[in-house]
Structure 1
Amino acid sequence: MLARYVKIRDTIKMVAAVEDLLPRPTTHRQIVQLVTKPEALDSVCVRLQSEEGNLADVRLLFVAVHAKFPATAHHLSPSAQIVHSPAFESAVVKLLSDRSLISDEEEAVAQFAGLTDSAQETPKKVDFGTETLRHAKRPRLVTVIKYIDLLRMIPPTSNKCELLFSQCKLVFNPLRSSMLPANFEMLVFLRPNRELWDFTSLVGYNESADDDEEMQSRHSYEPSHSL
């Protein structure tokens, strides 16, 4: 409603019947600020709904919103109460930004550490004097800890989870209230992964399942031989 008022204000000023009802200039400026400020938040919300981006991008957006709207610090700061593990999140953000980690952050992602990578060259056979001089001039070897790519694949938002829950509501409608849990789980799994399967793959799955059931029933009816 406020956005509509700002849009048509210049036009309604020409209507004598409502001219006295228009807000004063100071009030009008406050209304314009109320209309323009949410535009920045709306752009951030639209960006968060995108499938692109990572935790570093989201943290950068939150920092910008915090700087523009200080009242959001309680909810958007890296140490907010909603953040389950601030050290872990900070470590992932720094890894995505190629920055070094502190001790607490290294401990938080220690389970995701891969093989250590060190820039070592293949040693060549040289004489004792050359090796002595080379060893004295050799810089200290810095061991770089590499982490598995799973950390970089962590989704920054819960959009996919919320979409999955919405799809569950579509699948589990009143007409399917008597559906077996196994069938419901299969439908919920197949729907989000629609691009990974087709009709032929389902036919092959059903045939293999029928063969397994036939083999199980055949073994169950075989007479037992006593020793």
Structure 2
Amino acid sequence: MVQAVEDLVPRPSSHRRIVQLLSKLGDLDIVCVKLQSEELTLADVRLLFDAVVVKYPVTASYLKADASIVHSPVFERAVVKVQGDRRLQVDEEAAVEPFLVVQPSSARQIKQVDFATATLRQAKKPRHASAQKYDELLSQLPPTSNRCERLFSQCKLILTPRRSSLLPANFEMLVFLRANRDLWSFTSLVGIDDAKKVVCARET
């Protein structure tokens, strides 16, 4: 019995590797939890992803800004720069052009001002990286990662070892109900059960 247990105990070198691995997994788990936040912006997600890529280069093929799984790298780059108030390149400006806010014409009454007044006014203007103004929707654009990470976490809670033999259709139904639990309640299920009983009674 003791010998059987001893075979399962890792050697000191293996134990050190396990501890290091757990530390790395802890870092990644914290990032995954942070990605589920509703307040997170696309720029915040890009910052987290870049930090993970620097620390764990093996993740670069999935987390880089130009990774193959990114649907629109140029658009994502443009949104990140708009949210960070940084200057856009030509291709990035073209990607977010539909969100460009047309400034109202200021040609109606232009007052003549002297050179000194014009200089002072120009100096007091906020110095943004880009002179273009974009729709506020672009600045508040949430990343898809927060909803996806939340869904994956819910899937992990549902697919416990005891439920590993669930049929895909049943698992999908449970995930759907859990993801949309704010749209239904216990009374909804009771109503469905009553409706089924009525249908069965009519059929008989």
Taking structure 2 as the reference length, the TM-score comes to 0.60
Question: Is 2:162 the partner of 1:175?
Answer: no
Given that residues 116 and 144 in structure 1 are in contact (C-alpha distance below 8 angstroms), is that contact kept between their aligned partners in structure 2? no
CA shift for structure 1 position 51: 1.0
Given that residues 75 and 82 in structure 1 are in contact (C-alpha distance below 8 angstroms), is that contact kept between their aligned partners in structure 2? yes
CA offset digits 1:38-58 (Å, max 9, x no partner): 000000000011111100000
Given that residues 117 and 145 in structure 1 are in contact (C-alpha distance below 8 angstroms), is that contact kept between their aligned partners in structure 2? no
Equivalent AA in structure 1 for residue 15 of structure 2: H
CA shift for structure 1 position 108: 0.2
For 1:170 and 1:118, the matched residues in 2 are separated by 46
1:56 corresponds to which residue?
A: 43
1:82 corresponds to which residue?
A: 69
Equivalent AA in structure 2 for residue 39 of structure 1: G
Equivalent AA in structure 2 for residue 107 of structure 1: A
2:158 corresponds to which residue?
A: none
Unaligned runs of 5+ in 1: 1-14, 179-227
Question: Is 2:96 the partner of 1:109?
Answer: yes
1:147 corresponds to which residue?
A: 134
Higher relative contact order (CA 8 A, sep 6+): 2
Question: Is 2:111 the partner of 1:98?
Answer: no
For 2:57 and 2:106, the matched residues in 1 are separated by 45
CA shift for structure 1 position 20: 7.4
Equivalent AA in structure 1 for residue 141 of structure 2: I
Unaligned runs of 5+ in 2: 155-174, 196-204
For 2:180 and 2:29, the matched residues in 1 are separated by 25
Equivalent AA in structure 2 for residue 167 of structure 1: N
Aligned residues: 154
Tell which structure's C-alpha radius of gyration is larger: 1
1:65 corresponds to which residue?
A: 52
For 2:12 and 2:22, the matched residues in 1 are separated by 15
CA shift for structure 1 position 82: 2.2
Return structure 1 stretches of 4+ with deviation > 3 angstroms: 15-22, 116-123, 160-165, 168-174
Gap change, CA 1:118 and 1:42, over 3 Å in 2: farther
CA shift for structure 1 position 68: 1.1
Report sequence identity in percent.
Answer: 48
CA offset digits 1:129-178 (Å, max 9, x no partner): x88xx99xxx9xx98110010101211125189599521797486927x8
